Amino acid sequence: MNRRIFIKNTMTVAAGAFVVPIIIPSHVLGKTPPSDKINIGQIGCGRIAMDLDLPEVMKFDSARVIACCDLDSNRLKDGKAKIDSFYEKKTGKKDYVNARMYDNYRDLLASTDIDAVVISTPDHWHAQPAIEAAIAGKDIMLQKPFSLTVAEGRFVCDVIKKKGRILQVCTQLRASSQFRIAAELVRNGRIGKLHTVRIGQTGDPSGPEAAEMPVPSNLNYDMWLGSTPKVYYTEIRVHPQNDYSRPGWLRCHQFGAGAITGNIVHYLDLASWGMDTEYTGPVSVEATGEYPKSGLWDVHGDFMVKAEYANGITCYADSHYPAMVRYEGTEGWVEAGPGALRVTASDPAPLTKNPQIINAGDPKILTSEIKENEIHLYKIDDQHGNWLECIRTRQLPISTAEIGHRATTACLISDIAMRLGRKLYWDAEKERFKGDKEANAMLSRPQRKPYGTDYIKF
């Protein structure tokens, strides 16, 4: 299918909608030989793709990255170079892949030889390509947070379920055994009845004022803004033009919610493992946050969140805690941290170093054996590898769409509570606040045509 036919068939801008055809990937049309590769398309060639997603996928022999896409042509070329160089070194063949380049992800999705995609875009470009990829019959690795809003997160879940796609949310700390072990100990009663969970990570710093700059010729800035409001271009609002250091959009509420969804989502996801709340959410949330008084960056800095759950557990997230998950029960405590683990070199460091990646009030807790008839949690060594294996087996991965949505939702409603400055009551089944029209209005955002999930016909 060529580009012109695909656009004609899939985009009806006059009608205000994107319509994506169902394209069934080759590996689900029939039994595939074990030697067949899973052909991958990489959507987004920024910091997280270059440092994490591409290397972690390409290291597996079962996968072959054959295409990449980015709205910045310089980054697109760098992505292709990284892919081609990797496979040339691995195989000794200069043109083993010769990765195709796309400046529009919908053209990549139209490629019938691509089985699955990795989406490593800014937060405001997570939900829409994930939905369109699922409708196009692709399996998906989606960077956290799951969505920009609660409403579009629910939409993603519904489409994934209906289309039967394998979606893995990239919350890679689940592959670190200390977090699974801590959660298993808690779930099996080794610290008595769990009543309190504490998690921590740093907030984001304020930044300078930034004057309008000419849009670089290598960047499709209008599409980069996507569904969010039209605002002038300045480099620290987007990403660096000369390197792959931490981008400015992470600190702009227009494109995300700051550290609460960028970093805390990892630890709240892990905490839900131990709390047994992966498929629900809190019943109430209250939060405070410090916000910049000037400058372009407007997400929270230091913060505190208190979330209460129906099972009697209270979870605290605080920027003054070290980066860890700490479970406190009636008979002791256990905690797990990342140690020196970083997703990328520019990720924020914890306020204090964790001398041990897993610790307990009573050391005997850590040597307690989880017996065969007790609760054993999903065990993996590598999240990207788990995704690839599940594409083959069609089994659920460790971080499903629903799990990723619930963890992100808890962070998003915490952000809402922070901004409103009052305690909010949450109905996790209906995914609505109780008796609060102002808070409920913040569960979605206006979307700028023709971009956004509101304009997808499904």
Please give the average per-residue pLDDT across 153-180, as a whole number: 96
For residue 159, the tally of other CB atoms under 10 A from its CB is 22
What percent of the chain shows pLDDT beyond 90?
A: 85
Candidates 104, 97, 111; CA nearest to 25 is: 111
Peptide bond into 145 cis (omega under 30): yes
What's this model's pTM, rounded to 2 decimal places? 0.90
Question: What stretches of 182-243 adopt beta strand conformation (E)?
Answer: 194-200
Please list the alpha-helical segments (H only) found in 241-355: 259-262, 264-275
* The two structure tokens encoding residue 166: 């394998």
For residue 347, the tally of other CB atoms under 10 A from its CB is 18
Is the pLDDT at 348 greater than 70, yes or no? no
Supply angle C-alpha 113, 116, 121, rounded to 5: 120
Burial class (CB in 10 A: 0-12, 13-18, 19+), 213: middle
Return the minimum-mean-pLDDT range out of 276-290, 350-364, 367-381.
Answer: 350-364
Is the pLDDT at 3 greater than 90, yes or no? no
For 202-238, how does the pLDDT look when each residue is reduced to its tens digit (9 = 90+)?
Answer: 899 899 999 999 999 999 999 999 999 999 999 999 9
For 324-335, how does the pLDDT look when each residue is reduced to its tens digit (9 = 90+)?
Answer: 999 999 999 999
Do 122 and 148 meet the contact criterion of CB atoms below 8 Å apart?
no
Specify the pLDDT at position 339. 78
* Average pLDDT, rounded, for the chain: 91
Half-sphere exposure (CA, 13 Å, Cβ side) for 8?
Answer: 5
For 253-268, how does the pLDDT look when each residue is reduced to its tens digit (9 = 90+)?
Answer: 999 999 999 999 999 9
